Amino acid sequence: MVDEYWIQASSFASRERAEGLKASLAEKGLASVITVKDVDGKSYFRVRIGPYSKKGEADGWLSRIKAFDGCDEAFVSKTTVERTI
């Protein structure tokens, strides 16, 4: 099991808005992914950057990402994944 740290730049009820933020981040040189999270029967499109192997690395990028339009509520989250070699 391995810990990964992700920055959630933002979350939207609309895939179109998530795609717009992803494109904006790409223009700034940041690769991101869109993941879907269902909450109480409603889908949210999360724009995430990562993964980072160390929390300190993710935290270091967080303040820069929060400065971008639409990312002021960005935060770091941890997930544990199983990796096979």
Q: Please name each of the domains of the chain with its CATH number.
A: 2-81 (3.30.70.1070)
pLDDT per residue of the chain (85 residues) written in tens, 0 to 9: 899 999 999 999 999 999 999 999 999 999 999 999 999 999 999 999 999 999 999 999 999 999 999 999 999 999 998 877 6
| b/e per residue 51-70 (b: at least 16 CB within 10 A) | bbeeeeebeebbeebeebee
Neighbours of 75 (CB within 10 A): 12
Model pLDDT, residue 84: 73
Given this model, what pLDDT does residue 85 score? 65
CA atoms within 13 A on the CB side of 12: 15
Give the global pTM: 0.89
* Residues contacting 51, CB < 8 A, separation 6+: 4, 5, 6, 79
